[in-house]
Amino acid sequence: MNTKELRDTLDGLLAADPDCAERNALADMVASSSRLRCWLDSFDMSCARQTRRLAAAGRSEPPSSLFNRNGRLSEKEAAAVTERESVGSAMGSFEGALGDGAVTAGHLDAIAAATKRLDDACRAEFAEHETELLAKAASESVDAFRRRCQRLARRLTAAAAKSDADELDSQRKNSCVKRWVDQITGMHHTHLELDPIRDAALWSVVDAEIASLRQTDGNAQLSWGQLQTDALVNAVNAGAGHPGNGNDGRRVPEITVLVDWQTLRTGLHGLSVCETENGIDLPVSTVRRMCCDAEVLPAVFGGDSEILDVGRSKRTASRAQRRALRAMYRSCVHPDCTIGFSACRIHHIRWWLEHRGPTDLDNLVPLCEQHHHLVHEGGWGLSMTADRTVYWTRPDGIVAYTTHSTDRTPDKTDQASDNTHPPETPGNRKLVPT
């Protein structure tokens, strides 16, 4: 922003009274405060850059120390400023866009996080996508842009590897467990960092335990966090109670991998999808090896190999319906929600009791606990068209969000430019009909 725009924005905020404002006026205030905050973040980056120069000449402390002491930021926040400055130095247009309010600090943080572990060659190649990434960042949420950057970083890492399985091998080697105790609360923390295959195996068991706990009397009032914790501890205890490697009654983990037939057949990950149910990319060679011992369950879009519409005969979605929905959705159907599919309830768009809605695929979507409550008890309306475009209506009758609901759709623009690599879409992707 130029000086006049900056002054006008600040004057407008000083004259505003959020306590008396209606929704649209509040939206304008938040947009103005965001633009001002973006300019301040850009200003901080300039300060960090000059502090770094002075520190190199022995005339200042490092930028993180300056922001920690004089900016009264936490160590983590101060480190984030210096990381943004590095992004701005490598991709200058992002710093300019931040100052103009076209992107936010969160978008630069997404780039910093995605490139943090890349080697110099891959980081330089990542920067070559600057123009394309900036155009996407200007129109995407921080969460969506973060997934885009992660996907690009994974693609570059895989391309640099000797084989597409090298990345998975590297992830296995870097897997670790960290434990510590919060000296204030006394709470014990366990941080487990896993490769996508072992993580999927672990959480398939935990998710099954969550489903079991949900059916147990007395657990209806447990929060999602409590359910996850109890399920994880129960799963670990169950495993500890059955030593040995034979068929000892333990549940064999199920890992859901979504991959189209053409990608699986050719081994080229760029034709459509090859990822876990939550959208984590997997090497095609690894998936092809897994299929040697796996039960392969085809999901044919537009076909009739399984009965996915059961009308009013059942209220609960069938396993086949859940598989079909899982193939279309990584997460909750709310456009701003990233809660994974496995943590969602299957919601009837036309309610089962009140609206006599059928348990048919075109009437079902995944909703997390928060947004399920928003629809049932919060007064929000949720409707869906035949092409799965959803409309979220506020209690006052205003349509707040209109969006195509499925988040597993190929990005045709990305595919057209490079048909040998996976599309760089963060959300918005579904399986190509086969």
Exposure of 386 in the CB half-sphere (CA atoms within 13 A)? 0
- Decide if pLDDT at 425 tops 80: no
The CA distance from 116 to 168, in Å, is 18
Buried b / exposed e along 94-129 (16+ C-beta atoms within 10 A): bbebbbbbbbbbbbbbbbbbbbeebeeebbebbeeb
Question: What does the pLDDT look like over 5-54, one tens digit per residue?
Answer: 999 999 999 999 999 999 999 999 999 999 999 999 999 999 999 999 99
How many CB atoms sit inside 10 A of residue 135's CB? 10
Buried b / exposed e along 220-242 (16+ C-beta atoms within 10 A): eeeeeeebbebbbebbeeeeeee
Distances (CA, A) of 334 to 84, 172, 248, 296, 390: 29, 33, 41, 30, 9
Token pair in block for residue 332: 């909750």
Answer whether 108's CB lies under 8 Å from 87's CB. yes
- What pTM was estimated for this model as a whole? 0.63
- Decide if pLDDT at 405 tops 70: yes
The CA distance from 279 to 276, in Å, is 5
Burial of 398 (0-12, 13-18, 19+ CB in 10 A): exposed
- Mean of the per-residue pLDDT values of the chain: 80
Task: Return the minimum-mean-pLDDT range out of 99-108, 294-303, 382-391.
Answer: 294-303
What pLDDT, on a 0 to 100 scale, did the predictor assign at position 410? 47
Band (pLDDT 50/70/90 cuts) for residue 316 is confident
**Chain mean position to CA 426:** 8
* Mean pLDDT of the region 56-73: 90
The length of the chain, given as a count of residues: 434
Answer whether 127's CB lies under 8 Å from 114's CB. no
- Decide if pLDDT at 271 tops 60: no
* Mean pLDDT of the region 360-370: 88
Q: Which one of 80-84, 337-341, 354-358 scores highest in mean pLDDT? A: 80-84
Burial of 180 (0-12, 13-18, 19+ CB in 10 A): exposed
What pLDDT, on a 0 to 100 scale, did the predictor assign at position 181? 84
Question: What does the pLDDT look like over 228-240, one tens digit per residue?
Answer: 899 888 888 876 5
What pLDDT, on a 0 to 100 scale, did the predictor assign at position 216? 77
The CA distance from 276 to 255, in Å, is 8
Token pair in block for residue 58: 């022995």
Sign of CA dihedral 6, 8, 9, 10: positive
- Decide if pLDDT at 416 tops 50: no
What pLDDT, on a 0 to 100 scale, did the predictor assign at position 201? 81
Token pair in block for residue 373: 């409550």
Question: What does the pLDDT look like over 133-187, one tens digit per residue?
Answer: 999 999 999 988 998 998 898 888 777 766 556 667 777 888 889 888 888 888 8
Answer whether 119's CB lies under 8 Å from 153's CB. no
What are 192's strand-pairing partners? Answer: 177
- Decide if pLDDT at 317 tops 60: yes
What pLDDT, on a 0 to 100 scale, did the predictor assign at position 227? 85
**Chain mean position to CA 417:** 24
